[in-house]
Amino acid sequence: MTPADAPGTGSTETARSTEPSQHGTTVSELDSPESIAAEVSAGIEAFLELKAAEFLAISPDADDIGRALLEFTRGGKMIRPVLLWWGFQLASGDDSSRSALNGGVAEAAGSLELLHAAALIHDDVIDHSDTRRGKPALHRQFESRHSERRFQGGAEPFGVAAAIVIGDICLALSEELFEKSQSVLGITPSARDLRATLRRDVMVGQYLDVLAEVVPLDDARIGERAWEVLSFKSAKYSVEQPLLLGAALGGADEEQLAEISRFGLPLGQAFQLRDDVLGIFGDPAATGKPAGDDIREGKRTVLIAESMKNLNSEQTQIMAERLGDPDLSDSEVAECVSMLTESGGLDAVESFIRSKHDEALSVVREWSTDSSPVSSTRTRIGPTAQRQLTKFAEALSYRKS
């Protein structure tokens, strides 16, 4: 692959040469997640270094912004960039000219990672989270900076204000980087629409999540609300839409986009359901967040909704009183965790995960060039690509962090 920060040499005409034929596309092997992550990370680093220099030129005080973003964007899982890249490959196929477009794909993928970083910065403020990836959340870092530098006023309001502004800047930089990819890829109206939809859905999903946390636990729509949040805040934005955006950039038509959606949406749902499990049952050493954090934050997840179906009146009252209390003791959290297990809620979610994972992999099998009888899908993959997609799906559905 070309270096992520290499200047684009492609054109709109070059990008259009990747459009699938009427018989679809065939992909023998996908680029490895490790190589994609390395290239996209290098591109983000180079881009943010340039932006940090611009901030510093405005004021020496603005250097804090660039340094904070550079540090915050290191060490992520890079799930969305990998999926955007693979979506592009699934649409463009084994095209020898595709490598000329990798610089633009890396920029488009990097823009998604910056959008994700902006969402995480704001999410930590909304949830009053202390940590992110085993380190202090960004608003906590600036809160500490306020105290260390003996600024006037309250340290906590300063930290929150700084994080909101830096999250907004990160979102703006995401848009800028996506626009940069246009000179290489020749972004189509379809890709622009998908990008706008992705951005809209994750923001609406965030509001739905905030709303769900204040709705009474006996609300008739608790389960429906939980699935709405799961789908729009994460499942679509984390898996389905990055794949679709990459495919649109690679020239996919509506038929192929629909095929890729059949794989991406259930996998995204399995991914977020696993996240809900880890938010309560995860090992803090692996997740970088305290055990039972979702209980203290009051998350109305599918796991909570399924558990509430089988709690007795006393347990329901206890859960209603404790869910969303940031001052719960470890023993109080542990009692809630036990109720989630004993109610059958955990088993139900694990069953959902298996079902969604299997649904996604059934589509991958349809795409296989070895399938018998040969399917009529526009997307075709060889054995190596099938193994890669299968392994990645398993990692997302059954991960430990």
What tens digit of pLDDT does each residue of 319-343 get? 999 999 999 999 999 999 999 999 9
Helix (H, G, I), strand (E, B) or coil at 368: strand
pLDDT at 323: 95
Indicate whether 352 pLDDT > 60. Answer: yes
Cα gap 195→43, rounded to integer Å: 20
Q: Residue range 65-74: average pLDDT? A: 97
Residue 24 pLDDT grade (very low, low, confident, very high; cuts 50, 70, 90): confident
pTM of the model: 0.91
Read off the pLDDT of residues 244-289 as tens digits, 9 standing for 90 and up: 999 999 999 999 999 999 999 999 999 999 999 999 999 888 887 8
Token output for 250: 């690679």
Is residue 94 left, alpha or beta, with left meaning phi > 0 and alpha meaning psi from -120 to 50? Answer: beta
pLDDT at 289: 80
Q: If one looks up domain 12-397 in CATH, what number appears? A: 1.10.600.10
How do 131-132 and 135-136 pair as beta strands? Answer: antiparallel
pLDDT at 127: 92
pLDDT at 371: 67
Q: Which of 94, 134, 17 is nearest to 380 (CA)?
A: 94
The mean predicted confidence, pLDDT, of the chain is: 91
**Helical axes 138-148 vs 155-180, angle rounded to 10°:** 130
Ranges of each domain in the chain? 12-397
Residue 245 Cα distances to 88, 153, 282, angstroms? 8, 44, 31
Residue 345 Cα distances to 34, 107, 304, 317, 342, angstroms? 35, 41, 7, 17, 8
Residue 375 pLDDT grade (very low, low, confident, very high; cuts 50, 70, 90): low
Indicate whether 57 pLDDT > 60. Answer: yes
pLDDT at 247: 96
Three-state SS string over 152-217 comes to CCCHHHHHHHHHHHHHHHHHHHHHHHHHHCHHHHCCCHHHHHHHHHHHHHHHHHHHHHHHHCCCCC
Three-state SS string over 41-83 comes to HHHHHHHHHHHHHHHHHHCHHHHHHHHHHHHHCCCCCCHHHHH
Tally of CB atoms within 10 A around 129: 20
Indicate whether 12 pLDDT > 90. Answer: no
